[in-house]
Amino acid sequence: MKASFLICFSFCVFIASAQKPKDGFYTYSIAFEEWQGKSLNTTCTVQIKGDSIKIINNGTGNLTGKKGDIIDEGILMKHTKTGKWIIGHNLKDKDAEEIGGCSGGPPIIDFKQKKFYSC
């Protein structure tokens, strides 16, 4: 009985954490892969509208460019192999061999921890 409850609870937590937020604007940390995922006090504005997403420079931290510049934009999709949310630029990105950080593949966005992973 306990094992069944724990499995169900874990699954429910996973499903809840894996859902994308409602349409709107959010502030996320930028996790720099080359700095072991540290944000270095850098944040961005995340705009979600349906399945579209924009990552916008909000002027904090040491980002290149200026406030209001679009860092990335694309289609929200789940990566087939890992189940992680990614910012795709075409439908084939959901099956990309590599994702995130400095891989050259589509970037990862973590809705639970409110992080956008960048190189």
When pLDDT is averaged across residues 27-44 and rounded to a whole number, the result is: 90
Identity of residue 114: K
Model confidence at 67: pLDDT above 60: yes
- pLDDT at residue number 70: 98
Model confidence at 82: pLDDT above 60: yes
Give the pLDDT band (50/70/90) at residue 32.
Answer: very high
Q: Please, what is the average pLDDT of the chain? A: 86
Inter-CA distances, 106 with 63, 98, 103, 113, Å: 19, 8, 8, 18
Number of domains the chain contains: 1
Chain-centroid distance, C-alpha 102: 14
In-domain check, residue 54: yes
In-domain check, residue 10: no
The encoded tokens of residue 38 equal: 């540290």
The whole domain housing 84 covers 21-118
- pLDDT at residue number 62: 83
In-domain check, residue 15: no
Half-sphere exposure of 78 (CA within 13 A, CB side): 10
In-domain check, residue 45: yes
In-domain check, residue 2: no
- pLDDT at residue number 8: 39
pTM over 0.85: no
